[in-house]
Structure 1
Amino acid sequence: MGVVNVTPDSFSDGGLWFDEATAIRHGLELVEEGADLVDVGGESTRPGAARVSLEEELARVVPVIRALAGEGVAVSVDTMRAEVAKAAVEAGALLVNDVSGGLADPVMPQVVAATGVPYVVMHWRGHSHDMDKRAVYEDVVAEVCEELAKRVDFVLAEGVSESQIVLDPGLGFAKQTEHNWQLLAGMDRLHELGHPLIIGASRKRFLGRTLADQDGTPRPFSRSDDATLAVTALAARAGAWCVRVHRVGPNADAVRVAAAWKQGGDG
């Protein structure tokens, strides 16, 4: 899954693809590099980010989705709003990626159920402005699994089918560095929830903090791509259904290498 942030303030590439024509061109480039899905989002979820209006989010994402879908691109929409999800699917989106797992907009599961498209339900404890305060766990893997299971029960009760659900442990969302690594190491327990997993580690803060300089200065986002590749390969080898990344080409290669490694072991 390649990322197209139609935003001026996303954490790693805010503003680069904010112009509609540039965003469309970037989405097409990601497909050429090997993206199976292009994830279009109009609202930054970086720590501390303020929300945009519904009207602004619609204006950012719908034209880009419509244009990419018109070119035959498999598009997903990254949104927490049911109205945006509905408009995006009507414009051609084939998947709804909701980082709040239906908590930000309780109508979202009903809307997704009506569309029939796959639904990414992410682990989430609150909006970006204060999510770091919520990063308190005794056993992060057990608690994330428990909270995701509750979200699955909720969306199923709202009409979403089992076959639509994809789960995301929410790396970086109300998680400190050690929590993210524990979740990645605990992917086998996440698999026990019985749904495909998507992993979104690309350029996130925990990579930069893990690779900090000797004086403790975190590595900048722009120099975290090699670390992202390592996570991609390991996540793919551990059975991830999808990885969400900013640089598609090298990560697509990493997935292919992991698949060949697994096939070699199975053979």
Structure 2
Amino acid sequence: MNILSPGTPLSLNRQDIQVMGILNVTPDSFSDGGQFASIDNALKQAEQMIEQGASIIDIGGESTRPGAADVLVEEELSRTIPVIKAIKQRFNINVSIDTSKAQVMAEAIAAGADLINDVRALQEPGCLEIVGQSSLPVCLMHMQGQPRTMQHNPQYQDLIGDIKQFFEQRIEDCHEHGIEKERIILDPGFGFGKTVEQNYRLLANLTCFDDFNMPILSGTSRKSMIGKLLERDIEQRLAGSLTTALLAVERGASIIRVHDVQETMDAIKILQITHQLTN
């Protein structure tokens, strides 16, 4: 286990642990909506997360919380592209664009983005082509349904098997568009079309995705799977977020997407030293 520090090139080595700091430049994200909508506030938050140890900053301009409304491409561009440019100009840090729109992907790549993070796994028109024409890595996330309706009544015949089948098809589609498996990261999609029990079953069985031999991204930070189990409001979910992050690392996740960078780094460093000293 090797924890990457800020300024280190983006790694797709499954043995490297990377903390991805969440930077939502939206007015309605579930945890921090509106806090970082201005460039100045976004830069301050990015700087703080970098100082705390994040090696990736994930910038999102459209909320994907349950029930979230769609955002026009022009609005998403105006929220994200200036922030990407400003961060890349000021800091030596990997920047990820959290989007499902081909035009946003294209302009983010031109602005200096290092990673495409797509909750819809490149299923929207033009996305496979844009990423295929680039050399950037991409994170494919599993989601049942769409953000507006995904939590109404999620059902699976075989939770792990269904998600693996989804990834197999998306990987094949990527390959057909020139996106090599060496560029692909997989995200099982905690909280995206899963019940509380399904989320924890997924976490408990995360090693099942080792079969793909690809980096796994885990994003459980402050999510309702924690709040509902522990009966905690969003600002009271740190302990649950840290626990699920450590469980994910123990089960093979190598990119941990979080709001609380410093606390997550501290927890992973303790996990790292115990691994190193295990006889």
Normalising by structure 2, we get a TM-score of 0.90
Which residue of structure 1 aligns with residue 207 of structure 2?
188
Secondary structure in structure 2 of the residue aligned to 1:141 = helix
Give the whole-Å Cα distance in 2 for the aligned partners of 1:25 and 1:108. Answer: 31
Q: Does 2:82 correspond to 1:82?
A: no
Question: How much does 1:134 deviate?
Answer: 5.4
- Give the aligned residue type for 1:252: M
Highest relative contact order (Cα 8 Å, sep 6+), 1 or 2? 2
Contact persistence 1:234–1:258 (CA under 8 A) = no
Which residue of structure 1 aligns with residue 93 of structure 2?
73
Which residue of structure 2 aligns with residue 216 of structure 1?
none
Secondary structure in structure 2 of the residue aligned to 1:192 = helix
Give the whole-Å Cα distance in 1 for the aligned partners of 2:274 and 2:169. Answer: 35
Give the whole-Å Cα distance in 2 for the aligned partners of 1:37 and 1:235. Answer: 18
Per-residue CA deviation, residues 70-117 of structure 1 (Å, 9 max, x unaligned), is: 1222110000011101111111110000010012x1321221122211
Give the whole-Å Cα distance in 2 for the aligned partners of 1:231 and 1:3. Answer: 16
| Equivalent residue for 2:119, pick from 99, 124, 130 | 99
Per-residue CA deviation, residues 137-176 of structure 1 (Å, 9 max, x unaligned), is: 1321111111111111111111111111000000000011
Contact persistence 1:236–1:259 (CA under 8 A) = no
Question: How much does 1:252 deviate?
Answer: 1.0
Secondary structure in structure 1 of the residue aligned to 2:151 = helix
* Aligned ranges 1:8-87 → 2 under 5 Å: 8-71=27-90, 72-87=92-107
Q: Does 2:190 correspond to 1:171?
A: yes
Secondary structure in structure 1 of the residue aligned to 2:97 = strand
Give the whole-Å Cα distance in 2 for the aligned partners of 1:257 and 1:238. Answer: 16
- Give the aligned residue type for 1:102: L
Contact persistence 1:100–1:126 (CA under 8 A) = no
List structure 1 segments (4+ residues) > 3 angstroms apart after TM superposition: none
Can you give the 5+ residue segments of structure 2 that lack an aligned partner in the other structure?
Answer: 1-19
Can you give the 5+ residue segments of structure 1 that lack an aligned partner in the other structure?
Answer: 213-218
Give the whole-Å Cα distance in 1 for the aligned partners of 2:180 and 2:233. Answer: 40
Give the whole-Å Cα distance in 2 for the aligned partners of 1:134 and 1:97. Answer: 25
Q: Does 2:203 correspond to 1:151?
A: no
Give the whole-Å Cα distance in 1 for the aligned partners of 2:70 and 2:274. Answer: 42
Give the whole-Å Cα distance in 1 for the aligned partners of 2:153 and 2:95. Answer: 31
Normalising by structure 1, we get a TM-score of 0.94
Give the whole-Å Cα distance in 2 for the aligned partners of 1:98 and 1:258. Answer: 29
Secondary structure in structure 1 of the residue aligned to 2:152 = helix
Give the whole-Å Cα distance in 1 for the aligned partners of 2:207 and 2:179. Answer: 24
Question: How much does 1:123 deviate?
Answer: 0.4
Contact persistence 1:204–1:221 (CA under 8 A) = yes
* Aligned ranges 1:115-154 → 2 under 5 Å: 115-133=134-152, 135-154=154-173
- Give the aligned residue type for 2:84: I
Per-residue CA deviation, residues 35-92 of structure 1 (Å, 9 max, x unaligned), is: 0100000000000001110000000000000011112221100000111011111111
Tell me the C-alpha RMSD between the 2 structures.
Answer: 1.2
Aligned-residue identity in percent? 37
- Give the aligned residue type for 1:94: D
Which residue of structure 2 aligns with residue 215 of structure 1?
none
Per-residue CA deviation, residues 168-195 of structure 1 (Å, 9 max, x unaligned), is: 0000000110111011111111111221
Contact persistence 2:206–2:251 (CA under 8 A) = yes
- Give the aligned residue type for 1:51: D
| Equivalent residue for 2:275, pick from 244, 259, 262 | 262
Give the whole-Å Cα distance in 1 for the aligned partners of 2:217 and 2:111. Answer: 23
Give the whole-Å Cα distance in 1 for the aligned partners of 2:113 and 2:268. Answer: 24
